[in-house]
Amino acid sequence: MKILITGAAGFIGMTTALRLLARGDEVVGLDNLNDYYDVTLKENRLKRLTSHANFRFVKMDVADREGMAQLFTAEKFDRVIHLAAQAGVRYSLQNPHAYIDSNVVGFTNILEGCRHAQVQHLVYASSSSVYGGNTKMPFSEHDSVDHPVSLYAATKKANELMAHTYSHLYRLPTTGLRFFTVYGPWGRPDMALFLFTKAILDGRPIDVFNYGQMQRDFTFVDDIVEGVIRVLDRVAVSNPSYDAVLADPATSNAPYRVFNIGNNNPVPLLDFIACIEDALGKKAEKNLLPLQDGDVPATYANTDALNEWVGFVPGTSIEQGIGRFVAWYRDYYKM
Protein backbone atom coordinates (compact mmCIF):
# COMPACT_ATOMS: atom_id res chain seq x y z
CA MET A 1 0.00 0.00 0.00
CA LYS A 2 0.93 3.65 -0.29
CA ILE A 3 0.73 5.14 3.17
CA LEU A 4 1.08 8.69 4.48
CA ILE A 5 2.58 9.01 7.96
CA THR A 6 2.38 12.48 9.45
CA GLY A 7 4.82 13.21 12.26
CA ALA A 8 7.29 10.84 10.59
CA ALA A 9 10.26 12.46 12.35
CA GLY A 10 8.68 11.66 15.72
CA PHE A 11 9.74 8.48 17.48
CA ILE A 12 6.41 6.70 17.04
CA GLY A 13 6.26 7.91 13.43
CA MET A 14 9.80 6.76 12.65
CA THR A 15 9.30 3.34 14.25
CA THR A 16 5.99 2.85 12.44
CA ALA A 17 7.53 3.85 9.10
CA LEU A 18 10.40 1.39 9.55
CA ARG A 19 7.97 -1.46 10.19
CA LEU A 20 5.84 -0.62 7.14
CA LEU A 21 8.89 -0.27 4.90
CA ALA A 22 10.19 -3.62 6.13
CA ARG A 23 7.02 -5.33 4.95
CA GLY A 24 7.14 -3.66 1.53
CA ASP A 25 4.76 -0.70 1.77
CA GLU A 26 5.50 2.64 0.14
CA VAL A 27 5.68 5.38 2.78
CA VAL A 28 5.50 9.14 2.41
CA GLY A 29 6.62 10.75 5.66
CA LEU A 30 5.52 14.27 6.50
CA ASP A 31 6.86 16.48 9.29
CA ASN A 32 7.42 20.21 9.84
CA LEU A 33 10.57 19.59 11.94
CA ASN A 34 9.58 22.29 14.42
CA ASP A 35 11.81 23.21 17.34
CA TYR A 36 9.51 22.12 20.20
CA TYR A 37 12.44 19.84 21.02
CA ASP A 38 15.87 19.03 19.56
CA VAL A 39 15.62 19.21 15.76
CA THR A 40 18.86 17.23 15.37
CA LEU A 41 17.20 14.24 17.01
CA LYS A 42 14.34 14.49 14.50
CA GLU A 43 16.79 14.75 11.60
CA ASN A 44 18.68 11.69 12.83
CA ARG A 45 15.45 9.72 13.02
CA LEU A 46 14.75 10.70 9.42
CA LYS A 47 18.19 9.48 8.35
CA ARG A 48 17.09 6.00 9.38
CA LEU A 49 14.22 6.25 6.89
CA THR A 50 15.68 8.08 3.91
CA SER A 51 17.99 5.17 3.05
CA HIS A 52 14.91 3.15 2.05
CA ALA A 53 13.96 3.31 -1.63
CA ASN A 54 10.25 3.18 -0.76
CA PHE A 55 10.40 6.19 1.58
CA ARG A 56 10.04 9.83 0.63
CA PHE A 57 10.08 12.78 3.01
CA VAL A 58 7.90 15.88 2.66
CA LYS A 59 8.66 18.84 4.90
CA MET A 60 5.31 20.50 5.56
CA ASP A 61 3.08 21.65 8.39
CA VAL A 62 -0.28 19.88 8.57
CA ALA A 63 -1.82 23.32 9.19
CA ASP A 64 -0.81 24.35 5.62
CA ARG A 65 -4.23 24.06 4.04
CA GLU A 66 -3.22 24.53 0.41
CA GLY A 67 -0.09 22.41 0.67
CA MET A 68 -1.94 19.52 2.29
CA ALA A 69 -4.70 19.61 -0.33
CA GLN A 70 -2.11 19.47 -3.10
CA LEU A 71 -0.28 16.59 -1.42
CA PHE A 72 -3.41 14.44 -1.17
CA THR A 73 -4.40 15.24 -4.75
CA ALA A 74 -0.96 14.37 -6.13
CA GLU A 75 -0.18 11.26 -4.09
CA LYS A 76 -3.43 9.24 -3.97
CA PHE A 77 -2.68 7.56 -0.65
CA ASP A 78 -4.35 4.25 0.16
CA ARG A 79 -4.26 4.82 3.91
CA VAL A 80 -3.13 7.48 6.37
CA ILE A 81 -1.55 7.29 9.83
CA HIS A 82 -1.85 10.73 11.41
CA LEU A 83 0.61 11.16 14.28
CA ALA A 84 1.62 14.81 13.81
CA ALA A 85 0.45 16.99 16.68
CA GLN A 86 1.62 19.56 19.13
CA ALA A 87 2.35 17.29 22.07
CA GLY A 88 2.76 17.84 25.78
CA VAL A 89 0.27 18.66 28.51
CA ARG A 90 2.30 21.28 30.36
CA TYR A 91 3.34 23.19 27.25
CA SER A 92 -0.33 23.68 26.38
CA LEU A 93 -0.59 26.02 29.37
CA GLN A 94 2.13 28.22 27.87
CA ASN A 95 1.36 28.18 24.15
CA PRO A 96 -2.31 27.29 23.55
CA HIS A 97 -2.38 28.58 19.95
CA ALA A 98 0.18 25.97 18.87
CA TYR A 99 -2.32 23.27 19.86
CA ILE A 100 -5.20 24.79 17.94
CA ASP A 101 -3.07 25.31 14.82
CA SER A 102 -1.62 21.80 14.73
CA ASN A 103 -4.20 19.63 16.48
CA VAL A 104 -7.44 21.23 15.26
CA VAL A 105 -6.66 23.13 12.04
CA GLY A 106 -4.13 20.49 10.99
CA PHE A 107 -6.55 17.65 11.70
CA THR A 108 -9.22 19.37 9.62
CA ASN A 109 -6.79 19.41 6.70
CA ILE A 110 -6.12 15.69 7.19
CA LEU A 111 -9.83 14.87 7.23
CA GLU A 112 -10.48 16.96 4.13
CA GLY A 113 -7.56 15.37 2.31
CA CYS A 114 -8.77 11.88 3.18
CA ARG A 115 -12.33 12.70 2.12
CA HIS A 116 -11.47 14.15 -1.28
CA ALA A 117 -8.81 11.53 -2.07
CA GLN A 118 -11.13 8.69 -0.98
CA VAL A 119 -8.57 7.28 1.45
CA GLN A 120 -9.50 3.75 2.55
CA HIS A 121 -8.75 4.24 6.25
CA LEU A 122 -7.52 7.03 8.53
CA VAL A 123 -5.81 5.97 11.76
CA TYR A 124 -5.02 8.88 14.06
CA ALA A 125 -3.40 9.48 17.44
CA SER A 126 -5.69 10.41 20.27
CA SER A 127 -4.45 10.33 23.86
CA SER A 128 -5.14 8.94 27.33
CA SER A 129 -5.29 12.60 28.33
CA VAL A 130 -8.90 12.71 27.10
CA TYR A 131 -9.91 10.89 30.29
CA GLY A 132 -9.07 14.07 32.21
CA GLY A 133 -10.86 14.16 35.54
CA ASN A 134 -12.11 10.55 35.30
CA THR A 135 -11.27 8.51 38.41
CA LYS A 136 -12.84 5.17 37.47
CA MET A 137 -10.02 2.70 36.74
CA PRO A 138 -9.11 1.23 34.35
CA PHE A 139 -10.07 3.84 31.75
CA SER A 140 -12.55 2.41 29.26
CA GLU A 141 -13.49 3.67 25.79
CA HIS A 142 -17.11 3.13 26.78
CA ASP A 143 -16.89 5.83 29.48
CA SER A 144 -17.64 9.51 28.94
CA VAL A 145 -14.64 11.79 28.38
CA ASP A 146 -16.27 15.18 28.75
CA HIS A 147 -14.02 16.69 31.43
CA PRO A 148 -10.54 17.35 30.00
CA VAL A 149 -8.07 19.08 32.33
CA SER A 150 -5.70 20.48 29.69
CA LEU A 151 -6.09 22.13 26.29
CA TYR A 152 -4.01 19.32 24.79
CA ALA A 153 -6.60 16.81 26.02
CA ALA A 154 -9.43 18.99 24.70
CA THR A 155 -7.89 19.05 21.21
CA LYS A 156 -7.58 15.26 21.21
CA LYS A 157 -11.21 14.89 22.26
CA ALA A 158 -12.05 17.34 19.46
CA ASN A 159 -10.19 15.11 16.99
CA GLU A 160 -12.37 12.17 17.92
CA LEU A 161 -15.54 14.23 17.46
CA MET A 162 -14.33 15.63 14.14
CA ALA A 163 -13.41 12.14 12.90
CA HIS A 164 -16.87 10.86 13.77
CA THR A 165 -18.44 13.68 11.79
CA TYR A 166 -16.48 12.70 8.66
CA SER A 167 -17.20 9.01 9.21
CA HIS A 168 -20.90 9.85 9.47
CA LEU A 169 -21.19 12.38 6.64
CA TYR A 170 -18.74 10.93 4.12
CA ARG A 171 -18.42 7.29 5.25
CA LEU A 172 -14.70 7.83 5.77
CA PRO A 173 -13.43 4.94 7.92
CA THR A 174 -11.57 6.40 10.92
CA THR A 175 -9.92 4.79 13.94
CA GLY A 176 -8.64 6.81 16.88
CA LEU A 177 -6.00 5.34 19.19
CA ARG A 178 -5.70 6.71 22.70
CA PHE A 179 -1.98 6.34 23.42
CA PHE A 180 -0.90 5.73 27.01
CA THR A 181 2.56 7.19 27.88
CA VAL A 182 4.66 5.77 25.05
CA TYR A 183 8.39 5.35 25.76
CA GLY A 184 11.42 3.72 24.20
CA PRO A 185 14.57 4.31 22.11
CA TRP A 186 14.57 7.52 20.08
CA GLY A 187 11.93 8.90 22.45
CA ARG A 188 10.93 12.50 23.11
CA PRO A 189 13.32 14.58 25.25
CA ASP A 190 10.40 16.22 27.10
CA MET A 191 9.12 12.88 28.43
CA ALA A 192 9.88 11.62 31.95
CA LEU A 193 12.16 8.72 30.97
CA PHE A 194 14.40 10.96 28.87
CA LEU A 195 14.45 13.76 31.45
CA PHE A 196 15.16 11.42 34.35
CA THR A 197 17.91 9.51 32.53
CA LYS A 198 19.69 12.70 31.49
CA ALA A 199 19.47 14.28 34.94
CA ILE A 200 20.67 11.15 36.79
CA LEU A 201 23.66 10.74 34.47
CA ASP A 202 24.43 14.47 34.85
CA GLY A 203 24.25 14.21 38.63
CA ARG A 204 21.29 16.59 38.87
CA PRO A 205 18.10 16.07 40.92
CA ILE A 206 14.94 14.93 39.12
CA ASP A 207 11.57 16.65 39.54
CA VAL A 208 9.03 14.15 40.88
CA PHE A 209 5.49 15.53 40.79
CA ASN A 210 2.64 14.79 43.18
CA TYR A 211 5.37 13.81 45.64
CA GLY A 212 5.84 10.57 43.71
CA GLN A 213 2.22 9.46 44.14
CA MET A 214 1.67 8.93 40.42
CA GLN A 215 0.92 5.91 38.24
CA ARG A 216 1.30 5.67 34.50
CA ASP A 217 0.41 2.94 32.02
CA PHE A 218 3.84 3.11 30.37
CA THR A 219 3.74 1.44 26.93
CA PHE A 220 6.82 0.44 24.95
CA VAL A 221 7.02 1.91 21.46
CA ASP A 222 7.38 -1.44 19.66
CA ASP A 223 4.16 -2.67 21.28
CA ILE A 224 2.41 0.56 20.26
CA VAL A 225 3.58 0.25 16.66
CA GLU A 226 2.44 -3.37 16.45
CA GLY A 227 -1.01 -2.19 17.52
CA VAL A 228 -1.04 0.75 15.12
CA ILE A 229 -0.24 -1.43 12.12
CA ARG A 230 -2.76 -4.10 13.07
CA VAL A 231 -5.41 -1.39 13.34
CA LEU A 232 -4.35 0.13 10.02
CA ASP A 233 -4.87 -3.23 8.36
CA ARG A 234 -8.37 -3.69 9.79
CA VAL A 235 -10.51 -0.92 8.35
CA ALA A 236 -13.06 0.61 10.72
CA VAL A 237 -16.65 -0.45 10.11
CA SER A 238 -19.97 0.54 11.58
CA ASN A 239 -21.17 -1.38 14.61
CA PRO A 240 -24.25 -3.36 13.51
CA SER A 241 -25.49 -3.56 17.11
CA TYR A 242 -24.96 0.13 17.86
CA ASP A 243 -27.77 1.50 20.02
CA ALA A 244 -28.32 5.23 19.49
CA VAL A 245 -30.24 5.45 22.77
CA LEU A 246 -27.33 4.13 24.83
CA ALA A 247 -24.80 5.90 22.55
CA ASP A 248 -21.58 4.00 23.26
CA PRO A 249 -18.74 6.56 22.71
CA ALA A 250 -16.37 3.92 21.32
CA THR A 251 -18.40 2.85 18.27
CA SER A 252 -21.07 4.17 15.96
CA ASN A 253 -23.45 3.38 13.13
CA ALA A 254 -20.76 5.12 11.04
CA PRO A 255 -17.40 3.45 10.16
CA TYR A 256 -15.78 4.87 13.31
CA ARG A 257 -13.82 3.29 16.14
CA VAL A 258 -11.87 4.52 19.17
CA PHE A 259 -9.52 2.27 21.15
CA ASN A 260 -7.21 2.51 24.13
CA ILE A 261 -3.71 1.36 23.29
CA GLY A 262 -1.67 0.87 26.43
CA ASN A 263 0.16 -1.67 28.53
CA ASN A 264 -2.87 -2.50 30.71
CA ASN A 265 -0.48 -2.47 33.69
CA PRO A 266 0.03 0.85 35.50
CA VAL A 267 3.40 1.35 37.16
CA PRO A 268 3.92 3.57 40.23
CA LEU A 269 6.24 6.46 39.33
CA LEU A 270 8.70 5.61 42.11
CA ASP A 271 8.98 2.02 40.77
CA PHE A 272 9.56 3.45 37.29
CA ILE A 273 12.38 5.61 38.68
CA ALA A 274 13.85 2.59 40.49
CA CYS A 275 13.98 0.72 37.16
CA ILE A 276 15.89 3.63 35.60
CA GLU A 277 18.31 3.65 38.54
CA ASP A 278 18.91 -0.09 38.13
CA ALA A 279 19.50 0.25 34.38
CA LEU A 280 21.93 3.14 34.91
CA GLY A 281 23.60 1.73 38.02
CA LYS A 282 23.16 5.10 39.68
CA LYS A 283 20.74 6.51 42.25
CA ALA A 284 18.54 9.56 41.62
CA GLU A 285 18.26 12.57 43.87
CA LYS A 286 14.53 13.38 43.99
CA ASN A 287 13.01 16.85 44.12
CA LEU A 288 9.46 16.15 45.34
CA LEU A 289 6.89 18.62 44.01
CA PRO A 290 3.08 19.03 43.99
CA LEU A 291 0.88 17.86 41.10
CA GLN A 292 1.22 20.13 38.08
CA ASP A 293 -1.73 21.92 36.49
CA GLY A 294 -3.15 19.79 33.67
CA ASP A 295 -1.66 16.56 35.02
CA VAL A 296 -3.58 13.58 36.38
CA PRO A 297 -2.37 11.31 39.19
CA ALA A 298 -2.96 8.01 37.37
CA THR A 299 -3.62 6.43 33.99
CA TYR A 300 -4.63 2.81 33.40
CA ALA A 301 -5.78 1.44 30.04
CA ASN A 302 -8.47 -1.15 29.62
CA THR A 303 -7.33 -2.70 26.32
CA ASP A 304 -9.94 -5.47 26.04
CA ALA A 305 -11.62 -3.86 23.02
CA LEU A 306 -8.36 -3.55 21.05
CA ASN A 307 -7.39 -7.09 21.96
CA GLU A 308 -10.75 -8.32 20.67
CA TRP A 309 -10.48 -6.20 17.50
CA VAL A 310 -6.91 -7.03 16.40
CA GLY A 311 -5.42 -9.35 19.03
CA PHE A 312 -3.38 -6.60 20.69
CA VAL A 313 -1.36 -7.91 23.66
CA PRO A 314 1.69 -5.81 24.69
CA GLY A 315 4.70 -7.98 25.44
CA THR A 316 7.45 -5.68 26.77
CA SER A 317 7.98 -5.41 30.53
CA ILE A 318 8.97 -2.08 32.06
CA GLU A 319 12.41 -3.53 32.95
CA GLN A 320 13.01 -4.64 29.35
CA GLY A 321 11.76 -1.38 27.88
CA ILE A 322 13.78 0.89 30.14
CA GLY A 323 16.85 -1.29 29.60
CA ARG A 324 16.51 -0.88 25.84
CA PHE A 325 16.02 2.88 26.16
CA VAL A 326 19.07 3.31 28.41
CA ALA A 327 21.22 1.24 26.02
CA TRP A 328 20.08 3.46 23.13
CA TYR A 329 20.64 6.66 25.15
CA ARG A 330 24.19 5.71 26.15
CA ASP A 331 25.03 4.81 22.55
CA TYR A 332 23.39 7.88 20.99
CA TYR A 333 24.90 10.38 23.42
CA LYS A 334 28.17 8.43 23.88
CA MET A 335 27.76 8.18 27.67
Contact in structure between 167 and 234 (CB atoms under 8 Å):
no
Give the span between the Cα atoms of 190 and 252, in whole angstroms.
Answer: 35
Annotation marks residue 152 as catalytic: yes
Q: Is the pTM of this model over 0.85?
A: yes
Report the pLDDT value the prediction gives residue 281, as an integer from 0 to 100. Answer: 95
Catalytic residue among 152, 183, 256, 329: 152
- pLDDT category, 11, cuts 50, 70, 90? very high
End-to-end C-alpha distance for the chain, whole angstroms: 40
Report the pLDDT value the prediction gives residue 165, as an integer from 0 to 100. Answer: 98
pLDDT of 59-80, one tens digit each? 999 999 999 999 999 999 999 9
Q: How far is CA 46 from CA 34, 52, 132, 228, in A?
A: 14, 11, 33, 20
Give the span between the Cα atoms of 253 and 138, in whole angstroms.
Answer: 26
- pLDDT category, 40, cuts 50, 70, 90? very high
pLDDT of 26-39, one tens digit each? 999 999 999 989 99
Share above pLDDT 70 across residues of the chain, in percent, rounded to a whole number: 100
- Is the predicted pLDDT of residue 88 greater than 80, yes or no? no
- Is the predicted pLDDT of residue 302 greater than 90, yes or no? yes
Report the pLDDT value the prediction gives residue 195, as an integer from 0 to 100. Answer: 95
Task: Transcribe 289-303 into DSSP letters.
Answer: -PPPTT--SB--B--
- pLDDT category, 94, cuts 50, 70, 90? confident
Give the span between the Cα atoms of 264 and 140, in whole angstroms.
Answer: 11
- Please report which helix (H) or strand (E) contains residue 188, including its range: none
